[in-house]
Amino acid sequence: MKSTSAVSFFRMNTLMLKATNKDEIKTAAAFLASGGLVAMPTETVYGLAANALSAESVANIYKAKGRPSDNPLIVHIADMNDFEKYGKPNDIAKELAEAFWPGPLTIIVDKMPCIPDITSGGLGTVGIRMPAHPVALELIREAGVPVAAPSANTSGKPSPTEAIHVWDDMNGKIEAVLDGGSCDIGVESTVVDTTGGVAVILRPGAVTIDMMADVLGEEGVMRVSKAAIVKDEAPKSPGMKYRHYAPKARVEMVSGSPVDTYNYIKNNVTEKDGVLVFSEFLGEFGCEKIDFGKSYDKDMHARVLFSAFREMDKKGVERIFVQCPREYGKALATVNRLRKAANEGMATDLRTQKIVGIVGRSGSGKSYVSQKLSEKDRLIDCDKLYADMLKSDCEMTRELAQSFPESCINGRIVKAELAKTVFNDREKLEKLNAITHHHIVKEIMRIVHENPQDNFYLDAPTLFESGLHLYCTKLVAVVADEETCIERIIKRDGITEEQAKKRLANQMSADFFKKYCDQVIYN
């Protein structure tokens, strides 16, 4: 959207201001200081801001959003010292603020009397957050007041992650939208109540329970129980009792391994529907579709979800089928929003077996961990399975013999010869991998499907390269530091340090595994 003057482009009474222009941030701040409403970008979602200390201004937020007035707002600050001006943080609250501010964490504390009842929804507590967005911080500082800001959507609709989303909901109802581009995180902040003895997570977000446990200890933080929300006369977090984030279209969330959810959606989707599916499967659909990011890219899933809902509504689809991300870590926030957007009855869970893929670099101790983890369940050592398959007369060896006749002795493929053939020949190595990965995955899934009553752990060094991760319900990374790995490889395989280093250099990085797996085990 190009315009030299926001005013001349949008002729209605809500201004579209550009955060790249300092003067326009000042204009927005002046609106706030004089009691007006301004939508501001944050790292999570756009917020609908007003002076948190003015009951009258805050009342206008509820009006503009059509929000029930018992649902309290978050007070945004730009200075650590302001925490104690508006709230009474205890040690837990202070430790969390120290660790995660500025950032996507809203901390509930007892409120100071200067916070009007309407801001805190009549509660004696208040949620406070210092956002990690330079524009939000500058705006709050410039306005010189703490800023109450719920997400800048019409109540019940998906939260806005672009200025245009706010415009669609709020045009004509507020003074201005400050356009700061797309929000990086895409789902709202984690809300944590610190007023009891332990930190209780009321709403999952980008700051995960594990991250908080690193600061407060395992016992120091817990999730709110569903029972507490339903039974409690005065719910802990009033916002949680309302249906949220819903597009007009019906949301059908499907949980399971990416391959299973893909198959389900493919079999059920009609021309009138849309799909929000992982990149790996996007090409398989002819209907309206949106790329959800790679199946393991949790940051991307969070970033895409709300804008995908809005985009699908613009396309006018009847239903949106969504491949549900694996529900661990950061994905808990995305899945929480997805579940609230889907009507209760519209969630399909295809998970009947646990299929856990375990990955790690050479020498990380992956096999040891695999044995520990699998305990009563079945463990498949994928390297061993491959070695056994190579020795047998099967589809794989026959195809290999055809593709690599130079690696055959008496018409049978020989492992050592194969290694010589592909050594220093990229193209041949890729061909070898394509053939072997295909057959190994097929063989593993044959075993899994023949034993539907069993759970499986897959010790899989090439979990991602082979595509096996697409069949898993959970991915575990085993990680050790580089020196430890090298030491273990030398000891186990009797090779030189140089050879060990070379082997590691050919493998995917520990950072990749840490970022994209559901659980990380340091070994």
Which residues of this chain interact with ligand TXA, rule CB under 6 A?
42, 44-45, 47, 71-74, 106, 108, 120, 123, 125-127, 129, 131, 149-151, 188-189, 191, 202-203, 236-240
Minimum gap (Å) between residue 166 Cβ and ligand TXA: 11
Residue 473 interacting with Mg ion (CB under 5 A): no
Between 111 and 361, name the residue whose CB sits nearer to ligand TXA.
111
Burial class (CB in 10 A: 0-12, 13-18, 19+), 231: exposed
The span from the CA of 67 to the CA of 242, in Å, is 10
Q: Which of 139, 112, 133 has its CA nearest to residue 49?
A: 139
Distance, first Cα to last Cα, the chain: 51
For residue 520, list its beta bridge partners: 477
Q: Which does 216 bind (CB under 5 to 8 A by kind): Mg ion, ligand TXA, none?
A: none
CB 413 → ligand TXA: shortest distance, Å?
A: 57
Is the link from the previous residue into 102 a cis peptide, with omega within 30 of 0? yes
Work out what residue 120 binds among ligand TXA, Mg ion, none; the CB cut-off runs from 5 to 8 Å by kind. Answer: ligand TXA
The residue with tokens 């797309």 is: 182
- How far, CA to CA in Å, does 183 sit from each of 78, 127, 160, 165, 168? 18, 21, 9, 11, 16
User: Is residue 71 within the footprint of Mg ion (CB under 5 A)?
Assistant: no
Q: Which does 458 bind (CB under 5 to 8 A by kind): Mg ion, ligand TXA, none?
A: none
| Binding piece for Mg ion, criterion CB under 5 A, among 143-151, 277-285, 449-457, 462-470 | 143-151
364 near Mg ion (CB under 5 A): no
Pairing of strands 319-323, 378-381: unpaired
Of the two residues 190 and 295, which places its CB atom closer to ligand TXA in the complex? Answer: 190
Binds 125: which of Mg ion, ligand TXA, none (CB < 5-8 Å by kind): ligand TXA
Nearest CA to 378 among 345, 403, 355, 344? 355
CB 112 to ligand TXA: min, Å: 13
Residue with the closest Cβ to Mg ion?
151
Q: Decide whether 131 or 325 has the Cβ nearer to ligand TXA.
A: 131
Partner interacting with residue 418 (select from Mg ion, ligand TXA, none; CB below 5-8 Å by kind): none
By Cβ distance, which residue is nearest to ligand TXA?
Answer: 239
Binding track, positions 103-142, relative to Mg ion; x by CB under 5 A = ----------------------------------------
Q: Shortest Cβ distance from residue 36 to Mg ion (Å)?
A: 20
Q: What's the chain's length in residues?
A: 523
Choose among 260, 478, 262, 266: nearest CA to 366.
Answer: 478
- Could you tell me the CA-to-CA distances from 402 to 288, 399, 428, 435, 522 in Å, in that order? 41, 5, 13, 11, 42
Interacting residues with Mg ion between 145 and 174 (CB under 5 A): 151
Going through 281-403 in order, the beta strands assigned E by DSSP cover 288-291, 319-323, 347-349, 355-360, 378-381
Q: Which residues pair with 478 in a beta bridge?
A: 360, 521
Nearest approach in angstroms of CB 202 to ligand TXA is 6
46 vs 386, beta carbon nearer ligand TXA:
46
Nearer to Mg ion, 48 or 265 (CB): 48
Closest to ligand TXA by CB, 198 vs 422, is 198
Q: Which is nearer to Mg ion, 151 or 261 (CB)?
A: 151
Contact predicate 100/47, CB 8 Å: no
Residue 307 binds Mg ion (CB under 5 A): no
CB burial of 411-443 (b: ≥16 within 10 Å; e: otherwise) equals: eebbeeebeebbeeeeebeeebeebbbebbbeb
**Binding region for Mg ion (CB under 5 A):** 151
